[in-house]
């Protein structure tokens, strides 16, 4: 009578665990793994495209994007660049990263055949390429469930199948994401609006309350005071000259980067990855605000 019970326990123990310790079925694990990669691919495509478009423009190769084959190559790079970094950070194996590159490139390349045969138009070929990426990623997860199913990822330092060495780069994905988010600001420095300082001062107060991080009342008091101070700084920036406002706003963002550093080092209030990304964003926006203000004076 004990055998069925033992078998059921053994079967349950074979199911992958989520990080919270809960069991996941193979289908649910594969579904979540596919959704994770698709989300990373979408973000990568949107953000990395800013960089590739600029590089092509600087090199005088923008005409490449006028042909579906050129778009297929550029889109493959846009999708794979950020997704590969994310998969490295998640401790995915070399073969799964290589597989992601292969299926993505294949998805964008397949519609080119009917295009060259005259069966479909160029825009249709490009659209089909984007659509085919979804089943291509799903197929990859189905082929490599042990590598890509949700719950299978390990920290990069512990992944036995990961022979790719740029571990520090993969761990700095919040920094890379922040740089991509602020890429346009780096190219075209501008001054953020004063009301952004209000959001800047209040965001950690709101996040900390939502995450129940303020059991220590002193920490709550400090963040409430910070929110009021930034609201006052925003108000002051409204009533001074544009040049003075630009300097005040830039200083406000740079000071907030110091706030981010403290929270990142102590690992309190917000997630560490969030604090790391905010450090970069705050520094970029603060510096570009001051640069844009100095440019106004000159």
The 10s digit of each residue's pLDDT in 229-288 is: 999 999 999 999 999 999 999 999 999 999 999 999 999 999 999 999 999 999 999 999
**143 and 44 in a common domain:** yes
Residue 175 lies in a domain: no
Q: What is the mean pLDDT of residues 99-117?
A: 94
**224 and 155 in a common domain:** no
pLDDT of residue 170: 61
pLDDT of residue 3: 45
Work out the mean pLDDT of the chain and round it to a whole number: 84
pLDDT of residue 62: 86
Give percent above pLDDT 90 in the chain.
56
Q: Flag whether pLDDT at 48 surpasses 80.
A: yes
pLDDT of residue 150: 67
Q: What is the mean pLDDT of residues 171-178?
A: 83
Q: pLDDT tens digits, residue range 134-157?
A: 999 999 998 988 888 765 544 444
Read off the pLDDT band of 163 (50, 70, 90). Answer: very low
**189 and 278 in a common domain:** yes
- Parent domain of 70: 2-163
Query: What is the distance, to the nearest Å, from the Cα of residue 230 to the centroid of all Cα atoms in its chain?
Result: 27
Q: CA 152, 23, 268: angle at the middle one, nearest 5? A: 70
pLDDT of residue 5: 47
**196 and 155 in a common domain:** no
Residue 176 lies in a domain: no
Domain closes at, from 110, 134, 163: 163
Structure tokens at 179: 């740089």
> 287 CB contacts (<8 Å, ≥6 apart)?
250, 254
Residue 286 lies in a domain: yes
Closest CA to 81 of 111, 47, 114: 47
Closest CA to 156 of 140, 143, 141, 172: 172
pTM score over 0.75? no
pLDDT of residue 61: 86
Domain count for the chain = 2
Structure tokens at 128: 């089909």
**28 and 159 in a common domain:** yes
Q: Which residue has the tokens 């420095």?
A: 189
Residue 119 lies in a domain: yes
């Amino acid at each position: 009578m004990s055998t069925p019970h033992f078998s059921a326990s053994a079967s349950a123990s074979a199911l992958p665990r989520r990080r919270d310790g809960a069991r996941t079925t193979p289908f649910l694990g594969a579904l979540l793994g596919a959704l994770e990669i698709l989300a990373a691919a979408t973000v990568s495509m949107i953000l990395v495209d800013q960089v590739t478009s600029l590089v092509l423009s600087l090199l005088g190769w923008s005409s490449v994007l006028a042909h579906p084959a050129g778009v297929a190559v550029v889109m493959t790079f846009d999708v794979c660049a950020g997704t590969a970094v994310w998969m490295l950070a998640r401790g995915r194996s070399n073969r799964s990263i290589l597989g992601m590159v292969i299926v993505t490139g294949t998805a964008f390349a397949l519609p080119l055949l009917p295009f060259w045969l005259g069966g479909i138009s160029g825009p249709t070929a490009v659209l089909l390429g984007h659509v085919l990426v979804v089943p291509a990623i799903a197929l990859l997860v189905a082929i490599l469930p042990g590598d890509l199913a949700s719950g299978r990822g390990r920290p990069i330092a512990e992944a036995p199948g990961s022979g790719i060495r740029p571990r520090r780069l993969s761990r700095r994905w919040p920094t890379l994401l922040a740089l991509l988010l602020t890429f346009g600001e780096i190219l075209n420095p501008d001054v953020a609006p004063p009301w952004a300082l209000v959001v800047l001062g209040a965001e950690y107060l709101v996040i900390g309350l939502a995450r129940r991080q303020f059991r220590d009342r002193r920490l709550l008091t400090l963040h409430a005071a910070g929110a009021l101070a930034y609201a006052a700084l925003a108000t002051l920036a409204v009533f001074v000259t544009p040049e003075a406002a630009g300097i005040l706003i830039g200083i406000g963002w740079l000071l907030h980067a110091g706030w981010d550093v403290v929270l990142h080092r102590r690992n309190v209030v917000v997630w560490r990855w969030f604090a790391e990304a905010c450090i970069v964003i705050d520094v970029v926006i603060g510096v570009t605000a001051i640069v844009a203000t100095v440019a106004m004076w000159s």
